[in-house]
Amino acid sequence: MILGHPASVRLLILGSWLTAPRSCLDSCIASLYVESTLSGEVKRMAKIISISTLRQGVTQVVKDLREHRQPWTLIQRSRPVAVLLDYETFETMQTRLRELEEEHLLRVVAEGREEHKRGKTRKIKSLADLR
């Protein structure tokens, strides 16, 4: 979490607040890893980078995405506005999302058929009857 002040910025990292001058935020934030403890494990979260820093080093960020496959959180005025992912991770996520949607749809259809077999359905003349 990042809180902005006119002259300085406070960062919440692992439950501790750190203060850094706003002037060094862009150079410092590009290499910052935000970590959280989850079930006793330390899990790496997205790297954070400002739009102005990204403009200056987009080639390096793309290289880092390909090598480490860690997402980057893009910030503007100290607020997250986008997430950058390597293409392979994006495609994997899209495929998994489609699979989950399909599994959900198949489960709903199966439940509907089972309810029909048990006589728990009713005939309607139009969709307006469902209200």
pLDDT in tens, 79-100: 899 999 999 999 999 999 999 9
Q: Which helix (H) or strand (E) holds 8?
A: strand 8-13
Question: What is the residue extent of each domain of the chain?
Answer: 2-85, 88-121
For the stretch 16-34, pLDDT in tens is 455 555 444 444 444 444 3
Record the pTM.
Answer: 0.54
In 3D space, the residue among 13, 47, 4 whose CA is nearest the CA of residue 29 turns out to be: 47
Residue 75 CA to residue 82 CA, distance in Å, equals 7
CA atoms within 13 A on the CB side of 106: 6
In 3D space, the residue among 50, 56, 10 whose CA is nearest the CA of residue 31 turns out to be: 50
Neighbour tally for 90: CB within 10 Å: 13
